[in-house]
Amino acid sequence: MRLTQDSLTIVKQNQLRAFCERGADILIRLYPDVIQWRDLSHQSLLNLITDTYIWTEEHARSSQLLAVRIACARLCLGSFFMQDPRYSDLQNIVKQQMSLYRLTDDDPINQYLLTIKSDWSKDAFKEQLPQLSELSTSILTYLDYEDWMKRLLINDWRISKPKENQEQQALFQTLTLRARNELKSSDEFLTFLLTVAQYYDGINCFNDPLSIRWFEKIIHNAPTLTHNNIISAFKPSGGY
């Protein structure tokens, strides 16, 4: 049999597919509850493993073991946790792991995730939906954004919530800027709703395939549809 470049490509593709299957099995075994509340398909898990491995390659540290460890963090905290101010400690851990020539059996990423289990063990947005549903009817009334931010913080049981006022303000400013840039609109009400969405479901959740509630709900050439999609998610029947 003549070995060609196409043959090598097929071998590599089969190896990657087998790795992704093993990685998905690990996620299913370790985080069944997260997968359930996120309502993720098996294909979504395969995509997560694949995308994360590609991410390690792009950062010049291709490693199947590291990819699975980072995929665990992405599954629990959202695909863009490396950009979320609340997880700076974890970001430093990931960067430190990527700098190592050889990984050990010690898994500091998993250890960190266990210390903040309250952040990902339950669907925080759904838990708070009875309160958040008020926002879906607030469009015709005056909305006190500062008061709502305080309410979000008071009712948030998650360990990673910012404790100091300066940190709280910085976080909401970051999330608000992301929302405004994504909407490409001056609509303060929708911007605030997307700020709240990110507060619970992770920064940039509207571009996160792991966040079924928000992914692809912003349709840039259809503002009315975008408005309805966002409002619907805050209604009791729309929060999943």
The predicted pLDDT at position 4 comes to 55
pLDDT (tens, 9 = 90+) of the chain, 240 residues, equals: 555 555 445 445 657 788 999 999 999 999 999 999 999 999 999 999 999 999 999 998 889 999 999 999 999 999 999 999 999 999 999 999 999 888 889 999 999 999 999 999 999 999 999 989 888 776 656 778 888 889 899 999 999 999 999 999 999 999 999 999 999 887 888 999 999 999 999 999 999 999 999 999 998 888 889 989 999 999 876 555
Whole-prediction pTM: 0.90
Residue 128, CA atoms < 13 Å, CB-side half-sphere = 19
Q: What whole-number distance in Å separates Cα of residue 123 and Cα of residue 76?
A: 10
189-226 burial by CB neighbour count: b if 16+ within 10 A, else e? ebbbbbbbbbbbbbbbbbebebbbbbeebbeeeeeeeb
**Residue partners of 27: CB distance under 8 A and separation at least 6:** 35, 45, 48, 49, 68, 71, 72, 75
Encoded amino acid at 28, one letter = I
Is 210:44 a contact under the CB 8 Å cutoff?
A: yes
